[in-house]
């Protein structure tokens, strides 16, 4: 295969090596160099498909020194492939700064799409896929984690998180408390021998992992969107208006409940008036 010069962002399997795409293999086979996080991990994939290639490390801790070398190679017309250990590069993995630097120099950047844990988990979660928010890894510190979750609590979307097994139970407990006991799924070891998707309420999942201990393997947590509160019944409206009228008067009681509930103010005013008149 003849490749045009440029940077190729190549997705690789998240477990099952059979998931690699044909175009990914062709690009990896034809690239002048493959930049990867761990040469041993990428080496296994290449060995499986009998691809011989020049592997160079590109990971968080060497990126500042490796990036100028890669950019120089691209300027000289090389075909450079970037992969991560698993899944799609840049997605909670290195590569974003390299892409920005290449684009800033007008160098060609192409993606070879393929597996990613977040989409695989979303498909299997049983949660609505039409609108979702990928949150990556939460902060490790409990306070920062809880603050971050609170910031997303009102997002009307399915939420996806990557999480380490050791933090799973604590994270699920925080989620149940802060997001409410929504429907959720814990997707583990996707595409691998011990693939498992456990679905349930956040409280149930938190209790399960609290009891069972940390599971093995890699994990994605998928949390369904907030469930809109059921509109209050007529009896509930009257009960709340009754108390509010006594404390605030008719007009203010109707205004306050309209803001809280989203119900029409005129209707609440009429009901509040009737409640006051009955009380006289």
Binding site for ligand SAM (CB under 6 A): 14-15, 84, 86-88, 91-93, 116-118, 162-163, 187-192, 218-220
In this complex, which beta carbon is closest to ligand SAM, that of residue 14 or of residue 55?
14
CB of 45 to ligand SAM, least distance (A): 14
Judge whether 172 and 202 are in contact, CB under 8 Å. yes
Q: Supply 141's token pair.
A: 């510190």
Q: CA-CA distances (angstroms) from residue 47 to 8, 23, 41, 44?
A: 20, 17, 10, 5
In this complex, which beta carbon is closest to ligand SAM, that of residue 32 or of residue 196?
196
Read off the DSSP letter of residue 172.
H
CB of 136 to ligand SAM, least distance (A): 8
Helical packing angle, 142-152 and 168-179, nearest 10°:
40
Instruction: Return the biggest CA–CA distance within the chain.
Output: 91
CB of 186 to ligand SAM, least distance (A): 9
d(CA 232, CA 238): 10
CB of 142 to ligand SAM, least distance (A): 19
In this complex, which beta carbon is closest to ligand SAM, that of residue 189 or of residue 256?
189
Residue nearest to ligand SAM (CB): 87
Which residues, in sequence order, are bridge partners of residue 222? 160, 185
In this complex, which beta carbon is closest to ligand SAM, that of residue 120 or of residue 272?
120
Judge whether 205 and 146 are in contact, CB under 8 Å. no
CB of 244 to ligand SAM, least distance (A): 48
In this complex, which beta carbon is closest to ligand SAM, that of residue 88 or of residue 183?
88
Reduced to 3 states (helix: H, G, I; strand: E, B; else coil), residue 235 is: helix
């Amino acid at each position: 295969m003849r490749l045009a010069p440029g940077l190729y962002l190549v997705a690789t399997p998240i477990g099952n090596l059979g998931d690699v795409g044909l175009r990914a293999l062709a690009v990896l086979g034809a690239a002048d160099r493959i930049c990867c996080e761990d040469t041993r991990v990428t080496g296994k994939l290449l060995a499986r498909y009998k691809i011989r290639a020049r592997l160079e490390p590109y990971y968080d801790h060497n990126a500042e020194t490796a990036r100028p070398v890669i950019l120089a190679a691209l300027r000289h017309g090389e075909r450079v492939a970037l992969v991560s250990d698993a899944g799609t590069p840049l997605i909670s993995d290195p590569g974003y700064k390299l892409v920005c630097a290449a684009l800033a120099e007008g160098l060609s950047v192409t993606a070879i799409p393929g597996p990613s844990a977040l989409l695989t988990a979303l498909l299997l979660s049983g949660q609505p896929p039409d609108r979702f928010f990928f949150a990556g890894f939460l902060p490790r510190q409990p306070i920062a984690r809880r603050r971050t979750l609170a910031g997303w609590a009102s997002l009307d979307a399915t939420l996806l998180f990557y999480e380490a097994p050791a933090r799973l139970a604590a994270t699920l407990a925080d989620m149940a408390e802060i997001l409410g006991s929504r429907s959720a799924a814990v997707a583990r070891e996707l595409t691998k021998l011990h693939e498992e998707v456990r679905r349930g309420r956040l409280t149930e999942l938190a209790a399960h992992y609290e009891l069972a201990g940390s599971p093995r393997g890699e994990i994605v947590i998928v949390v369904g969107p907030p469930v809109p509160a059921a509109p209050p019944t007529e009896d509930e409206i009257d009960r709340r208006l009754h108390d509010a009228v006594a404390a605030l008067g008719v007009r203010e009681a109707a205004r306050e409940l309209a803001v809280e509930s989203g119900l029409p103010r005129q209707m609440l005013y009429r009901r509040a008036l009737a409640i006051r008149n009955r009380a006289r």
